Homo-oligomer: A and B are copies of this chain.
Amino acid sequence: MDRPLRLISANPVDRLARVVEALLVVASQPLSVEDLAVAANDDTERIETALRLLGERYSEGRSGIVLEQVAGGWAFRASREAAEACATLFERPVERGLSGAAMETLAIVAYFGPCTRPDVARIRGVAADSVVAGLVERGLIAESGRDAEAAGAIRYKTTPLFERVFGLESLAALPRLDDLGGEADEIRERLEAVAEKRPA
């Protein structure tokens, strides 16, 4: 292949290198040379050359963006000199509370769990997928096997972190809901019936 990568004076970086850096800046996973070759519709050798060029440009001391080879391919990271700033950026203040959707979902899993996402959706009257994913990510609920009846849907239960955050010794210490009816099943049926009547 007789197409040397060359810098044209007006262009600081060769076109292929520009495409590769573009791909790397929007990727959520490291990209392999093969991934890059397929996407850029070019061959792996030229991709490797482009990566070398980019490696020089995006290196410690020269740039805040650093190209790094990790398991599975190539990715950008922040330079070490920006480590402190990044730590500040990702340091979240302690959150004071949960959104209404998260609190409802958590209450449902705590009182009626383990239960599946469709179970939660039936009681809330609205799909719960992203809320459940958020609670899993925060470690407040976790997977607890699959529901053999509901087409193998994943069931969720609350975690020890949940109990710590809510100051509960165990789930048995949850506030009683006598005003909503006695048994959990009974309350659950009632909530499902109300959800069907709700406009949203």
Bitwise interface map of A from 1 to 27 toward B, beta carbon under 8 Å scored 1, else 0? 111111111011101011111110111
**Contact A76:B25 (CB < 8 A) given known A6-B2, A35-B89:** yes
**Chain A 42-92 residues near chain B, CB threshold 8 A:** 53-54, 56-57, 61-65, 76-79, 81-82, 84-86, 88-90
Distance of A129 Cα from B39 Cα, bound (Å): 32
A133: contacting residue among B81, B116, B127, CB under 8 A:
B127
A130: contacting residue among B38, B142, B200, CB under 8 A:
B142
**Contact A3:B6 (CB < 8 A) given known A86-B39, A143-B101:** yes
Cβ of A154 within 8 Å of any chain B Cβ, yes or no, is yes
Residue from A7, A17, A88, A100 with most neighbouring chain B CB atoms (10 Å): A7
**Contact A63:B13 (CB < 8 A) given known A7-B53, A22-B79:** yes
Cβ of A152 within 8 Å of any chain B Cβ, yes or no, is yes
A1 to chain B: closest residue by CB: B6
A22: contacting residue among B40, B57, B78, B129, CB under 8 A:
B78
Cβ of A180 within 8 Å of any chain B Cβ, yes or no, is no
Distance of A118 Cα from B21 Cα, bound (Å): 42
Contact A199 B17 (CB under 8 A): no
Chain B residues with Cβ below 8 Å from A101 are 143, 145, 154
A194 to chain B, nearest CB (A): 9
**Chain A 105-146 residues near chain B, CB threshold 8 A:** 116-118, 125-127, 129-131, 133, 136-137, 139, 142-143, 145-146
Contact A99 B39 (CB under 8 A): no
Contact B145 A27 (CB under 8 A): no
Chain B residues with Cβ below 8 Å from A139 are 130
Chain B residues with Cβ below 8 Å from A96 are none
